[in-house]
Chains A and B, each alone.
Chain A
Amino acid sequence: MSGLVQDPATAGGEASGGLLRPGFAEPALDAQRCFRTLLSAMAHPGRIHALDVAIEPPARLMPGSAALCLTLLDAETPLWLDAACADEEARAYLRFHCGCPLVDDSRAAAFGLVGGALPPLGDFAPGDDLAPEDSATVIWQVEALEDEGPLRLSGPGIDGIRALGLAPLPGHFLEERARGHAAFPAGVDLILVAGSRLVGLPRSTRIETAGEG
């Protein structure tokens, strides 16, 4: 709750070489543009969107996920980073530009940022029936997003069925999503990022594999 005042000296000092990469060139307008792309992605689950913003992210972050962090995070949003993202440079970058608290307990995080293997979705806060909005949003950096592939998506935002290809596709993912669907309206929302491309997978989206009934 306390208003965080960023201390550039401290934050910069933690960065490798003491240099902090810049955030948005035009914070208000860049954030607006990124948000609209993300909103469209969440409103059209599975459709691949491209973020139109020039950004030089910390080495462990993709441009898309860095831009989303700058767009969404601040002192009111605790962030959990997986080991693949959480080097000093990324931490300093996020603390300085977003002012977000970095938490070790993924259940306490409003946002998760995953650069390695996707952890079980149950590790994140799902909200509950009374306040399903009190749930985590997980930004997941993947290697590839394709608009064709084995996944068949349906639900709000999709006119019929939409195909999606995704790599890597961890074995537990589909099963967890199916299980999570039964808990609706509670659930974790996913944003998949590959470079500066992204796909929204809100909890409301049903995911099956091609050939499934």
Chain B
Amino acid sequence: MYVAVKGGERAIRNAHQRLAERRRGDPATAELELNQIREQLGLAVDRVMSEGSLYAPELAALALKQARGDSVEAAFLLRVYRNTLPRFGYSEPLETARMAVERRISGAFKDLPGGQLLGATADYTHRLLDFSLAEARALDSQLVAPADEAPKGGTSDGGTSNGGPDGSAGPAAPTAASSETAAGAAVPRALDLLGDETLIETPPDADDGPVPDITREPPLFPAGRAQRLQTLARGDEGFLVGLAYSSQRGYGNTHPFVGELRQGRVSVEFTPEELGFAVEIGEVELSEMETINQFQGDAEQPPRFTRGYGLAFGRAERKALAMALLDRALRAEELGEEKSSPAQDEEFVLEHADNILSTGFLEHLKLPHHVDFQSERELLRALRKAWDERRRQAREAAE
């Protein structure tokens, strides 16, 4: 008898069992521990938190383990879990200017107050498979003292912490040696330096009005910038990167410079109603990107630089950079630019950025559709019969 999509409970139970076996792999190998994932696959954890919209490294590691390393599935697990949590309220806006900066670079500025900090990056390594990693080994953790780097002068007020290796840096020679700046010490944003000259716009939508929440009210189009940034922040990294890339190649041209990328820890503050003042409830690691983009100006507005903004949980600078490019590209209409490319099309970008939605709908094609298929089959049979009849008549008429 026909069993293709039926079989119910038992089939599902068996699928779960097989999945569990697949997940475990060869039982002769050691089972992954969550702290190994969290500590050693940190970027995967960060991506899952970002797309899962929940800052919870431990749970993201669990999700990755459960999803067998599938980051989209892991983000989905985290999103669903997120919905079972009570909502106590909204935090105060994060003060990224007071970030304990671990990494901070600018492509636009040769030098900037606060210094450039290279942090932990693979940017200047040669991408060769390191066969020495194939075996477990102790970490050779000697940081090079800044004196050995022979900085070419310049500022060194990078704000050091804990008396560790000094974080000073010369222009265009950021140091990797710094631990990070002291938490809470303000490191001025690079773009504020341009603001003094009025060459760059003030940040758009800087007012303090109520911020809409895309998880409570579905965004209708045209959406505001807040909804746009919220959607991009939880959007699929691959989708964002592809679209941002298209805008670099001429499908909408955003002329971006990296004004500043900063990475580090920011404290999260919350104001309980009964207290009436903000208290720190924890901290999150963030990547923040501000791009500087050209703007030609028009009769009303002088030529000036404009901004794009990207923010993501954890160490996710590729995501943050793509987001900043798209934020700027999506401002085409607001800035009176010709809107001709996918990356400039708000509804197109925002409606398709979420990988939990897109994956779900794509994969739902695996569900049974035989009722609709049967309807189509009957229809096609009828259409074909009519078509054959018409052909036959046409042939007879011709003879």
Contacts and interface: CB of A to CB of B under 8 A. Distances in A.
A and B touch in the complex (CB under 8 A): yes
Contacts of A76: 216
Interface string A59-74: 0000000000000000
Interface residues of A, number: 7
B272 A3 contact: no
A76 B89 CA distance: 13
Nearest to A9: B274
A5 interface: yes
A1 B274 contact: no
A4 B273 CA distance: 8
Interface string A1-27: 111110100000000000000000000
Interface string B71-103: 000000000000000011110000000000000
B88 A3 contact: yes
B216 A5 contact: no
A76 B213 CA distance: 12
B274 A3 contact: no
- Secondary structure at chain B's binding surface: helix, strand, loop or mixed? loop
Interface centre among B88, B216, B273, B274 (most CB of A within 10 A): B273
Contacts of A1: 90, 210-213, 216
A57 to B, nearest CB: 26
B210 A2 contact: yes
A7 B216 contact: no
B273 A5 contact: yes
A7 B210 CA distance: 22
A3 B270 CA distance: 12
Contacts of A7: 273-274
Contact of A3 (B89, B210, B211): B89
A58 to B, nearest CB: 23
B89 A2 contact: yes
Nearest to B212: A1
Interface string B149-178: 000000000000000000000000000000
Contacts of B216: 1, 76
A14 B210 CA distance: 28
A5 B89 contact: yes
A5 B210 contact: no
Contacts of A2: 89-90, 210
A31 to B, nearest CB: 17
B272 A5 contact: yes
Interface string B274-316: 1000000000000000000000000000000000000000000
Nearest to A3: B89
Contacts of A4: 273
Nearest to B210: A1
Interface in B348-373: none
A200 B272 CA distance: 39
Interface string B247-273: 000000000000000000000000011
A53 B273 CA distance: 32
Interface string B59-77: 0000000000000000000
A5 B90 contact: no
A3 B90 CA distance: 7
B229 to A, nearest CB: 16
Contacts of B213: 1
A63 B311 CA distance: 50
B212 A5 contact: no
Contacts of B88: 3, 5
A5 B213 CA distance: 18
B347 to A, nearest CB: 16
22 contacts: A1-B90, A1-B210, A1-B211, A1-B212, A1-B213, A1-B216, A2-B89, A2-B90, A2-B210, A3-B87, A3-B88, A3-B89, A3-B90, A4-B273, A5-B88, A5-B89, A5-B272, A5-B273, A5-B274, A7-B273, A7-B274, A76-B216
Interface of A: 1-5, 7, 76
Given A2-B210, A76-B216, 7 more contacts: A1-B90, A1-B211, A1-B216, A3-B89, A3-B90, A5-B89, A7-B274
Which 3 pairs, one residue from A and one from B, show the smallest C-beta to C-beta distance? A3-B89, A5-B273, A1-B210
